Amino acid sequence: MTDLVPVGAGPRLEPFARAGVLEASDIHLANLVCRIGGETNSDVSLAIALSCRELRRGSVFWDPHEIADVVRRQILDPAIPDIDSSDQAALFAELEWPHPSEWLSMLEASPVIAGRDDPLNQLPARLDEGLVYLEKYWQAEHDVARDLAALAADPPSQGPVLADDVVSGVRDALEASGTPLDPAQADAAVAAVTHRISVLAGGPGTGKTTTVCALLAALQQADPHLGAVALAAPSGKAAARLRDSVSQVSKRMPDDLKPIVADATTVHSLLKWQGPGTSFGYDEQHKLPFGVVVVDEASMLSLPLAASLLSAIGPGTRLILVGDPGQLVSVDAGSVLADIVSSADALHTRLPVTILTRNHRSGGDIAQLSEAVREGDKSAALDVLATAAGVTHGSPSLDGLVRDSDHRSITWIDADPASITMADLPAVAEVIARTGARMLELALAGDDAATLKLADDHRLLCAHREGPYGVSEWSQRMVAVLSDVLPGIDQSRWALGETAIVTHNLAQLGVNNGDCGVVVETRPVPTVALPGPGGAPRRLPCSLIPSLQPLQAMTIHKAQGSQFKDVTVVLPPPDSPLLSRELLYTAITRAREHLTVVGTRESVERAIDRANDRRSGIQRRWEENRTF
């Protein structure tokens, strides 16, 4: 609810703005589209504005028969902060929604909305079987479904008998070298050999990287002329982690099976992105020159980026999508990996989806908690948290909490994070101070590799950027703790031993958005150690990286694609619109050995109850067209 009415809202859109349904950007774009297209019907303007609204929420279409109920659930959900629910309900009740059938007739007749079979990219929006899209996203959805179908319908020359023999040989060799494959991992390797596209899904510890190395080995054994293998991920940090993980697993493999791969890169770099407002160098006309493309962290692929990637896959290239469909989806609209995994039954055998479920690391409380959250089992998740040693209810008197990593892997502080201080979290403060002091020692000793490794030992994660639950506030709290062990961290731009993060790609230096480093020199100039090619540390002057920022706390979204030995999660209040099952699952699964959850029971319950509700038509297209 707002008293501020966006300029140009007009009498038709103004009530929707006051009720919190539409934002200024929605109204501005709707007015622009209608003015340029000669549309004077305000209900069509409302439809365009609602398309923008749904896009902001990650959905690529909306249904005129359902939109009022969908928006009502969202607006009147107590997850919307800082509102008076009675006033909000009153404003919403006063909204005049067009009758669905009459609305559809208006949209069908509109000069700014194309029909299902109209030429592409001629109008800004499209009506497809009663669903309203913005054209760019209708086109992307259409292209993704088409290209997936084409890849699935075009099997490679290797038959299943050869594939079974090759994978069996690889499996035996890996087992002899101490890297056995479970049946699901072997199935994934067979799928990769016998299909041009396959999907490998699973949570942390289920052996996705080992499986990738095994299936690449099988592909290289099956086809000596396979061609180059490209590794990619949506973010620079995820790409670096993929590179390091594949390198570590490869070291345990026999020499004749070690996959030969290019250095991992971002999907944008793989496609030769030239910058904002430009197209990709590789596209439908210029195909990627690789025999295999492996994309990790595929849950982060937006619908438009997935469309661009698929369009660049040539007739001789295999595509393997790897990821965890339970994690946070892309910032932009779409949930491509989750759509494919949820459609596995409809796809039958032409697009194989292998889901790894066996945890090859120690199971423990973290694995149990993540599984319960992913499955939406609120009772089981709360049971794991409630029985975790160190659980404390309420904010006062937390002084008795001392972390004992040998005896517990989860600590739950059942308290409102805004109502407590670092003094109430002595175990967390002790880890922060101890890690900071040790990083200073290693920086002074010039051991950059050990310093960088230690920097990933602990991370404090928040859902919000600002406010009492956000990165800014909790970073200040961490700086206050670190000021006792890192001289000058609270006064100067860079302190020796301070952690830092790159926030934008810098291709000319080989620096990626999300790369984390440590300040290892302050004189004569501040210098940061960052992971270089192959993971080896390298030093760069801080001044060469304009996007280098101090790193204390970070957002959960930014941490996606990374894992840390010890993670502290600061949950937002139950009324936060950012709180979701995917957010909580992603935060939990960043921890390898120990997890501290700081947040109320209500926040945990609200997160588990609220699963991703993005709307996508990919599964509908598959099921209707039966193109697979």
Tell me whether residue 206 is annotated as binding.
Answer: yes
Q: Which two tokens stand for residue 235?
A: 């973010």
Of the candidates 188, 183, 213, 209, the residue with the CA atom closest to the CA atom of residue 358 = 183
Q: How far apart are CA 408 and CA 87, in angstroms?
A: 46
Q: How far apart are CA 318 and CA 198, in angstroms?
A: 8
SS3 of 301, please?
coil
Beta-carbon contacts of residue 340 (< 8 Å; ≥ 6 apart): 148, 199, 321, 347, 351, 353, 618
Sort strands 61-62 and 131-134 into parallel, antiparallel or unpaired: antiparallel
Quick one: how far is CA 219 from the chain centroid?
Answer: 28
Q: How far apart are CA 304 and CA 412, in angstroms?
A: 39
Q: What share of the chain is helix, strand, coil (3-state, %, to 5)?
A: 45, 15, 40
Q: Phi and psi dihedrals of 495, rounded to 5?
A: -115, 145
Q: How far apart are CA 58 and CA 56, in angstroms?
A: 5
Asked if 492 and 486 touch (Cβ cutoff 8 Å), the reply is no
Tell me whether residue 202 is annotated as binding.
Answer: yes
Tell me whether residue 205 is annotated as binding.
Answer: yes
Region for 132 from its dihedrals, namely left if φ exceeds 0, alpha if ψ lies in -120 to 50, beta otherwise: beta
Q: How far apart are CA 17 and CA 37, in angstroms?
A: 23
Going across the sheet that includes 113-114, the strands are 61-62, 131-134, 125-128, 113-114
Q: How far apart are CA 228 and CA 233, in angstroms?
A: 17
Tell me whether residue 203 is annotated as binding.
Answer: yes
Dihedral of alpha carbons 95, 100, 102, 108, sign: positive
Q: Which two tokens stand for residue 195?
A: 């299909």
Tell me whether residue 209 is annotated as binding.
Answer: yes
Which residues sit in the known binding site?
202-209
Which residues sit in the known binding site for ATP?
202-209
